[in-house]
Amino acid sequence: MMALVALVLAGLITAAVPAWAEPLRLVAFGDSLTAGLGLPAGEAFPAKLQAALKAKGHDVLIENAGVSGDTTSAGLSRLDWSVPAGTDGVIVELGANDALRGLDPAITEKALDDMLGRLKGRKIPVLLAGMVAPPNLGPAYGARFNAIYPHLAEKYGVPLYPFFLDGVAGQTGLNQPDGIHPTSAGVDVIVRKMLPAVEAFIGQIRAGKTG
């Protein structure tokens, strides 16, 4: 009799646990800005974002799938194996190297378009982190490049964080000597500014898993 009661109680407890009780598994998919070039692994963007989310009560695991030097086309070529089965959401941060190399924005847009299309096909939610072209490339290039991210976010109905380096780009004290890659303090700024958008993204994923 006691064994039967224990089984019933165990079943009730299991049923009471919501589907989202397990940690959300996110992939931070990007270039050196995600990988944390020049920083210890624990000070890279994915690790610091995970810690900030956990401090806010979110049970989230974030895999660092950043590869230094990646363009959007290079990222597309490794997308399928970099985002494994069971991934609950992806933060896409790519395009900085395209702009630094002055690549045709049409190439960048096509690669990001294909990327978002593949992830949509796999039913994996995306938070798109935008990039802004360096001003030395001129206003015409900047207008074409900067329009890519809001256009694709609207096309695929995904949330957009307009500029990954907001508050950090051009700030000497927040960047390493190369002037491109954030210091640990710079990553802190990125995480702090981006945290509300990521929390909203997590809320959308949770709602989708329980809806």
**Is 181 one of the catalytic residues?**
yes
Among residues 88, 151, 181, 188, the one annotated as catalytic is: 181
Token pair belonging to 189: 């700024």
The question of whether 32 is a catalytic residue gets the answer: yes
Q: Which of 31, 32, 70, 88 is catalytic?
A: 32
The residues assigned a catalytic role are: 32, 178, 181
